[in-house]
Chain A
């Protein structure tokens, strides 16, 4: 099955594109997708501790089961606004 992965900020710069399609075995979890991308892009490992993930635009944990067509996002620490 294919899932869409959207990449932002530091993640986008490591991966080199804002969006990619990843093929995974049926029934894969978000955690498996993360490991797959970490092996393709080893620099992601340095970020992983601080990353959040979303599935279909809701924050999700690594044990979330993915389905074909899901939109996953790798979300570096959020930084809206200004530190005032």
Chain B
């Protein structure tokens, strides 16, 4: 399941979606908006996506994962729009027969998402704003 949404993200439904009878583990990742970034006070973040390309790129990450590890299911959901401090921007769940594969695949998914999925965030601080890249 791959999705871009303007609605709040919840992990529990994703866990249910990816769980199979063959699964011995479900690893999850939730990215949340931090209050401080590089010493600046964040007011909120604004996420923007190129959905027609982002969804196929998420699918591509899942294909890469399946070539590397034995996993059951993969779900990636990214939120767009304005997010307040503490809100979740991205949720990932990976189920697998064994925990090592689930954990490794989940870590890989978030790293690759930042590299190839066209989604951007603007940091709006108390004293300015900027579109930032993944190294920031």
Residues of A within 8 A of B (CB): 6, 8-10, 12-13, 50, 54, 57, 59, 73, 75-84
Contact = CB atoms under 8 A, between A and B. Distances in A.
A78 B110 contact: no
B136 to A, nearest CB: 7
Interface stretch (B14-22, B50-58, B95-103): B50-58
A16 B87 CA distance: 29
Contacts of B50: 6, 8, 73, 75
A80 B90 contact: yes
B48 A80 contact: no
A78 B90 contact: no
Contact of A78 (B56, B120, B122): B120
Chain B residues touching A, range: 20 to 34
Interface of B: 31-34, 37, 48, 50, 52-53, 56, 78, 89-90, 110, 113-122, 131-136
Q: Which of A75, A82, A84 has the most CB of B within 10 A?
A: A82
A76 B136 contact: no
B133 A75 contact: no
A75 B32 CA distance: 23
A80 B114 contact: yes
A43 B90 CA distance: 31
A76 to B, nearest CB: 6
Given A9-B48, A54-B53, A57-B52, A82 B31 contact: yes
28 contacts: A8-B50, A9-B120, A9-B122, A10-B131, A12-B48, A50-B133, A57-B52, A57-B53, A73-B50, A76-B131, A78-B118, A78-B134, A79-B114, A79-B119, A79-B120, A79-B132, A79-B133, A80-B114, A81-B31, A81-B78, A81-B90, A81-B110, A81-B113, A81-B119, A82-B89, A83-B134, A83-B136, A84-B34
